[in-house]
Chains A and B, each alone.
Chain A
Amino acid sequence: MSDYVEGDINTIDNDVVEHDVNDASASMPEEVLTYLARQLASDPDAVAIEAEERGGKVSLKLHVGPDDMGRVIGRRGRTAQAIRTLVGAAGARSGKSTNVDIVDD
């Protein structure tokens, strides 16, 4: 459970948290992204997610190993788009809008 309480103004900025990939309390869109990325990656241990949540909007940054960038993005960004759609569906389920960035580092 996140510290953020919907509609509670006092908690709105409290919950900028970086979750560990294996954090069992991670919010659902983040869990789904983690799962998808680890399944897609040839090096699952290089998968890292930064999550930032405010006011029902979840912003996710995905890091993968250098060899897996192409795989998670796909031809013409097709896989990236599919990942966004699925993470978005997971977010909608928990009433959150999501944004997924694949970070090149």
Chain B
Amino acid sequence: MEWVEVTAKSLDEASERALSQLGVSEKDAEIQVLEEPKTGMFGRVKGEARVRARVAPAIPRPKRGGGRNGGRNRNRNEGRSESDRGGRGESTPKQGTKKKNDRPAKPKVEDAAPQRRNEKEQDMADGVTLEEQAAVGKEFLEGLVSVMGLDAAVEIRPLEEDLVELAVDGAEGLGVLVGPRGTTLAALQDVTRTVVQGRFPSKTDRILVDVARYRERRVAALGRFTAQIAEEVVASGEAQALEPMSPADRKAVHDAAKDIAGIETRSDGEGPSRHVVIAPSN
């Protein structure tokens, strides 16, 4: 896990700068005070505050380093120029396009997701394919990544029959597009869907955006977490309520729980306090 070290006039300022370098919020970071500014007479501050910070290990503490790409965007602001932006475009692997062609444009099987049939019928009526939508989203994300001076490629990954992921991947510094608890990533997905919607006025909830495999790792981590809680629930015979989560996270828990015997899950609570309950099944 990468540490960033920041010096500033006050501890608050140092922490804030460290966090913005990491692209995460205080909740998701581990901050250590290396040096406190000494307060002189009349509250005048002598010396500087020095802290170091890193992205906190993801909950629920994966045993092996599920290293996020956080805090590595230092020194990457300089050196952007028109020419190296062009060069980056050339070097982008065209995997997405290949994948797309591998996938036959077969008619959609409605039984695959009966709960979404109405939306699907609407999409089919629009005559807009998911492939077309994904291509627009990919292009948008590639442009954004380049404007932000990030070195990343965008790949189209079909996840399910009716679900596609636009995966932004690169060497480092992508934490800025993930943000605290994935909030920047959520914004990125919102805007991507809105852009796609602008070109093709149709449903866009079949498009997911991931950055540096954050979503993927989060789903995996939630799966391990769910398995662990399920074990406890089975052992104790008592239901456990989890902390409130986003709809995407709740879905990951429900999905993971489907494959576990002896428990069942439901969502309780409204709005921001909506959370999953894992209960023993009868």
Q: How far is the CA of A95 from the CA of B191 in the complex (A)?
A: 23
Q: Is A36 at the interface (CB under 8 A from chain B)? A: yes
Q: How far is the CA of A28 from the CA of B23 in the complex (A)?
A: 16
Interface residues on A, range: 20 to 34
Looking at chain B's contact residues, the main secondary structure is: helix
Q: Is A14 at the interface (CB under 8 A from chain B)? A: no
Q: Is the CB of A28 within 8 A of B148?
A: yes
Q: Mark contacts of B180-205 with chain A using CB atoms, 8 A cut-off: 1 yes-contact digit, 0 otherwise.
A: 00011011101100110010000000
The residue in chain A whose Cβ has the minimal distance to the Cβ of B22 is A92
Complex interface: chain B residues within 8 A of A36 (CB): 144, 191
Q: Is the CB of B190 within 8 A of A79?
A: yes
Complex interface: chain A residues within 8 A of B179 (CB): 85, 89
How many chain B residues touch the partner (CB < 8 A)?
Answer: 27
Residues of chain B having any CB pair with chain A under 8 Å: 17, 20-21, 23, 73, 76-77, 82, 140, 143-144, 147-149, 176-177, 179, 183-184, 186-188, 190-191, 194-195, 198
Sample of 20 further A-B pairs with CB below 8 A, known A40-B191, A79-B190, A89-B23: A28-B77, A28-B149, A39-B143, A39-B144, A39-B198, A41-B198, A71-B194, A79-B191, A82-B194, A85-B187, A86-B144, A86-B184, A89-B176, A90-B148, A92-B20, A93-B23, A93-B73, A93-B76, A93-B176, A95-B20
Residues of chain A having any CB pair with chain B under 8 Å: 24, 28, 31-32, 35-36, 39-42, 71, 74, 78-79, 81-83, 85-86, 89-90, 92-95
8 intermolecular pairs with C-beta atoms under 8 Å apart: A28-B147, A28-B148, A39-B198, A71-B198, A74-B194, A86-B144, A89-B23, A93-B73
